[in-house]
Structure 1
Amino acid sequence: MNTSLKLKKAISFFTRAIEQDNKRNYEYALHMYLEGVQLLIEVSRYEGNSDYSREVILNKCSHYLDRAERLKTYLLKINYQADISSKPSETEDVETKLLQGKMEGVIVETDCAVTWSDVVNLEDVKKTLEEAVILPLKFPQIFTGMRKTWKGILLFGPPGTGKSLLAKALASEAKASTFISVSSSDIVSKLFGDSEKMVKNLFKLARSRKPSIIFIDEVDSLCSSRSSTESDATRRIKTEFLVQMDGVTSNNDGVLILGATNIPWALDAGIRRRFEKRIYVPLPNEIVRYYMFRFHIGDTPNDINDRDLRELAKLTDMYSGADINILVRDATMQPIRKILAATHFHRVTGQCPTNPSVILDDLLTPCRSKSPDAIPMDWQQVPSDKLIEPLVTMDDMRRALVSSKATVTAQDLRRYDAFQSSFGLE
């Protein structure tokens, strides 16, 4: 579902919620409010939003979430009065267990397909994560006294530079630790308004499963700068994060908080201070882009040589890793489009598509209508085991370059450089 459809659906949920709220059908209204809030949070994470648009959307979320909290409190009170045999302590214990059960769903299996080798370059970032996570797991005896492990690491930089991919690779490499991945939707929408309880249970779960890593993607959506206009619910979430990350009563030994954000300047100052290591994940340079093109093209049939790869690296200044991935994917679709558009095919010799060890001389591939051995036919007439796809060419890459543009601007980079200069670590 695209962003505009999500926004329309969220508005529809809120309209129905208000109608049912006025009719005192509070349970249904609560459900509608929460469904709408969850969709708005997803809309707010759209990278095309301006800072102002994101703030307006999150303020709307806070407004409707406040109403949902009041409805939740009222319904809990009504349910409690209806069952006078239930003791408050038992009710609280059941609710706590329910919250902890929901938090179990954010634990990521460490047997993940992504490894360090899948992350092109970023060697300095990998070494820092190995220093903070992998080494303490293998040699805990050397991290004593002043030589303590980092408690919080913030990865910041332009979108598409590999921050989330690094987190996935870390989950795979740190097999001896529990990896917990959360986002704003896990904290806000699953708690029916009791977000600070979810934060508390998140850290409680991490401490009970240590050594553990809490990865907070888009941490700015939860911990942006505090202001006088924000709702009480939003303020309580931030306060609970501050207390749990570095409070007087918090003991986070064996727990690493790993955050990722595209807009680090929006973070609350208290949260920023608690991320002891703030690491800039930059756009790839020309050398790295060369290796990225080689990695993404991989074993796709192609006739692109080393000189072509170096030319592509020069032509893609300001492209992120995700931009290059999209460009290559678009280029690799060009042979498919040639197959769909072809009106003639000709016979070639090659490996059998279903059994590479067998060589066949009656395979078919698209060709021009004026080719000497051209056979008039379209792709629907080609047997599925007789098709040989055309090679990906440099022309396909150039055609993809026209439609696949960089998503990061020079103005964006200046903001990242300014933050790096003020708060980042070399």
Structure 2
Amino acid sequence: MIERITKEIMQIGDPVTFEDIAGLEGAKRLVVELVCWPMQRPEIFTGLRSLPKGLLLFGPPGTGKTLIGKAIAHESGATFFSISASSLMSKWIGEGEKLVRALFAVAAYRQPSVIFIDEVDSMLCQRSSDENEASRRLKTEFLVQLDGAGTKSTDRVLVVGATNRPQELDEAARRRFVKRVHIPLPDSAGREQLLRRLLQKNAHSIADADIANIVDKTKGFSGADIHTLCGEAAMGPLRELHADIRRIRINDVPPITAKHFAAALASMRPSVSDAEMLHYRKWNEEFGSFLQK
């Protein structure tokens, strides 16, 4: 079981830093204070200042919750575990619960560790009397381990959950994620920063005034929406060539211009509605650890 967890769950990918995440300055500052400082200086953060066992990142899809989880592991020098329900499920009765216990044991052995659960609502949704017995046992075991039953109070093991459906979390799971941070849509400064970073990767002739205009027209867009918008605009120069793509030289591809973004904006809409944003704000006011100013 330990070998299975080490091979299948531990993720070794490109390092992600908080500087790589555009915008979200308030959320990044909170995460650094709550998580990175206690992991880097455990001798200072003891007692009331000790590392929280659970951190919940909630907000609309495409805002960078997964990137923040990876940045936590990289900035703190922690071992990163990225798990899902498929990683822990088994056809054998009782093996799923044993895998959960083994996961926390390996995380404690390799501490500091970050256990990241994307779409945590799918694994820790509200319990009911008619749900599958195997999933219920797995959920219960995970809640027991998340409460610190399988690790010491001094162990530097953090469970980070990310979800865009926080209202579907089980009440016991919500209590165990003691810090709940809202990851909102990027503001105008964050959208501008993201646009400039994405445009660095391709030749373009877009002036600062054009970028300001694009930022104004992308109000309500998530980070993923802006990435899709830039990808659609980058296809504009290729479509204008009207030539066989197999015979085009790289130097013949014209730069991206403002008109390409105008055409891309005409065919795109935000993926998050105002009604959904209202739900996130209400949940944050009721259960969030830090209210947005």
Fold match by TM threshold 0.5: yes
**Which runs of no fewer than 5 residues in structure 2 stay unpaired?**
none
Deviation at 1:286, TM superposition (A): 2.1
CA contact (8 A) 1:246 1:274 kept: yes
Partner of 2:134: 233
Deviation at 1:408, TM superposition (A): 0.6
Distance 1:308 1:401 in 2: 13
Partner of 2:10: 107
CA contact (8 A) 1:112 1:168 kept: no
Distance 1:381 1:203 in 2: 54
- 1:324 aligned counterpart, secondary structure: helix
Distance 1:379 1:172 in 2: 39
CA contact (8 A) 1:115 1:172 kept: yes
Corresponding residue to 1:396 among 250, 260, 269: 260
Cα distance change of structure 1 residues 203 and 179 upon mapping to structure 2, 3 Å threshold: same
- 2:47 aligned counterpart, secondary structure: coil
Deviation at 1:260, TM superposition (A): 0.5
Give the letter for the 2:254 counterpart.
P
Partner of 1:224: 125
Deviation at 1:412, TM superposition (A): 0.8
Partner of 1:332: 234
Q: Greater relative contact order (Cα 8 A, min sep 6): structure 1 or 2?
A: 2
Deviation at 1:145, TM superposition (A): 2.5
- 2:144 aligned counterpart, secondary structure: helix
Structure 2 counterparts to residues 140-151 of structure 1, below 5 A? 140-151=42-53
Corresponding residue to 2:186 among 284, 295, 299: 284
- 2:50 aligned counterpart, secondary structure: coil
Distance 2:41 2:102 in 1: 29
Give the alignment's Cα RMSD to 1 decimal.
1.9
Give the letter for the 1:142 counterpart.
I
Give the letter for the 1:120 counterpart.
A
Distance 1:250 1:172 in 2: 22
Deviation at 1:248, TM superposition (A): 4.8
CA contact (8 A) 2:114 2:157 kept: yes
Distance 1:388 1:239 in 2: 60
Distance 2:56 2:79 in 1: 19
Deviation at 1:144, TM superposition (A): 2.0
Corresponding residue to 1:246 among 147, 160, 164: 147
Deviation at 1:249, TM superposition (A): 5.7
Distance 1:283 1:164 in 2: 14
- 2:48 aligned counterpart, secondary structure: coil
Distance 1:230 1:380 in 2: 54
Given the two structures, how large is their TM-score scaled by the length of structure 1?
A: 0.64
Deviation at 1:315, TM superposition (A): 0.9
Give the letter for the 2:268 counterpart.
S
Cα distance change of structure 1 residues 201 and 282 upon mapping to structure 2, 3 Å threshold: same
Moved more, 190-199 or 218-227: 190-199
Residue 185 of structure 2 corresponds to residue 321 of structure 1: no
CA contact (8 A) 2:56 2:160 kept: yes
CA contact (8 A) 2:57 2:163 kept: yes
Deviation at 1:112, TM superposition (A): 2.6
Deviation at 1:299, TM superposition (A): 4.2
